[in-house]
Amino acid sequence: MTTRQRIAITPGDGIGPEVIGEAVRCLEALRERRQLALDWETFDWPSHRWHEQHGEVMPDDALDRLRAFDAILLGALGDPGPTSNPNRHLLPDSISLAPLLQMRKGFDQWVCERPARLLPGARQYLADDRAKDIDMLVIRENSEGEYVGQGGRLRPGSQDEVATQMEVFTRRATERIIRYGFEQARLRARRRAEEGHTRTFETLDGRTCESQVCIVTKRNALRYWGDMYTEAFETIAKEYPDVATHHELVDAACMKFVQAPWAFDVVVASNLQGDILTDLAAVLSGGMGVAPSCNLNPDNPDLPSMFEPTHGSAPDIAGEGLADPTAMLFTTARMLQWLGREDRALLQAGDALYDAVASDLADHGGERRDTKTIGDSVLGRLE
């Protein structure tokens, strides 16, 4: 018997509840038609209101309650509050977005996967038509690095103020994220072979491989972690002779993402560098409106992974029914695939949702449509 998978849905702020609404409609349809072993519960914790009422952006025991679930589906976080009302204080991003980082850390979601594939119908920002071949997976180290939140401010506000912000890189987290990158490269090569469209990548010694991992650092200036990343990468690469390897400095990587993004396959980057690269990668593959993201804990099935689109809460268009739910729906598809690692029906439901969203995009990408129209179209394609 398959165990029922349980999802915690946190719609969050801004456009979050609207795009989540479309995700829930799709989940309902899939569950009913395919008899999925799937349940969900919604936690309505809009950060601004919660903060006003309780002085916190989410309940004290939020992480304890979320821990019991198999996955978290998150809409978007971030709400500066209504600027029109001077009596309501603004909630800075560093506070309203904190739950995101607390979940990533608290549930050891050490992988952040951000695929960037320019699908038919998606907006093509690059003029070069080879952009149609953009298909990369950026893997962001999600547990440490520049995001450890250690440091402080000494003598704040004074001319003698000192601010420190520490970066921490451990051998353990470095090795596991690099190994994850190589495994994904192999998997992608296998899938491409099954679908009959192989890609080729040259190695430095002139061999041809069907997948590639590019590691990103800034080792010419930040040499301590840069050197550790490089050494770990070279050692682990020996276990994967079938995968081509490549290194880019992060600034050059930005340039090459624009110049020749179709040359990348899997990219592994640190937390902050991966954050920056994935906004760029999102635009290269159609923009924030279509970019999915997920935060995974691949080795502890007792802790939930978290699925959220790369985009933010877009407070400027919140509540108007105008937000594009495409990224949220792609993210939901990825969640079902993840939950379906041991349940074929869930896996197939994830694939079906992905195909439905991609087919809607191919037919209607570029049209001005509201949230519900896009949701209706995707629902209609879930046969």
Residues found near ligand IPM in the complex (CB under 6 A) = 97, 100, 275, 310
Containing 157, the helix (H) or strand (E) segment is none
Cβ proximity to ligand IPM, 243 vs 329, nearer residue? 329
Core vs surface per residue 129-149: b (16+ CB within 10 A) or e: eebeebbbbbbbbbbbbbbee
> Does 146 contact Mn ion by CB under 5 A?
no
Q: Which does 97 bind (CB under 5 to 8 A by kind): ligand IPM, Mn ion, none?
A: ligand IPM
CB of 233 to ligand IPM, least distance (A): 23
Using the 8-state DSSP alphabet, how is residue 4 labeled?
A: P
**Of 64-72, 263-271, 274-282, 320-328: span binding Mn ion (CB under 5 A):** 274-282
H/E run at residue 104 = helix 98-106
The smaller minimum CB distance to ligand IPM, of residues 23 and 209, is found at 23
Q: Which stretch binds Mn ion (CB under 5 A): 15-23, 240-248, 270-278, 336-344?
A: 270-278
Which of 240, 338 has the CB closer to ligand IPM?
338
Measured at the alpha carbon of residue 283, what is the angle toward residues 336 and 165, in degrees to the nearest 5? 85
By beta carbon distance, the residue nearest Mn ion is 275
What 359-363 contacts at long range (C-beta under 8 Å, 24+ apart), as own/partner pairs, is: 360/326, 361/119, 361/120, 361/121, 361/122, 361/290, 361/326, 362/119, 362/120, 362/121, 363/121
Q: Exposed, middle or buried by CB within 10 Å (0-12, 13-18, 19+), for 95?
A: middle
Residue 343 binds to Mn ion (criterion: CB under 5 A): no
Residue 308 engages Mn ion in binding (rule: CB under 5 A): no
Q: 4-15 burial string, b = 16+ CB within 10 Å, else e?
A: ebbbbbbbbbbb
113 makes contact with Mn ion (CB under 5 A): no
* Spatial separation of the C-alpha atoms in residues 152 and 231, rounded to whole Å: 31
Output the six-digit token pair for 78.
Answer: 């971030």
Of positions 144, 248, 275, 360, contacts Mn ion by CB under 5 A = 275
| Closer to ligand IPM by Cβ: residue 143 or 310 | 310
Q: Minimum CB separation from ligand IPM for residue 101, in Å? A: 6
Residue 367 Cβ vs Mn ion, minimum distance, rounded to whole Å: 27
Least spacing, CB of residue 93 vs ligand IPM, in Å: 7
210 binds, among ligand IPM, Mn ion, none (CB under 5 to 8 A by kind): none
For Mn ion, the binding residues (CB under 5 A) are 275
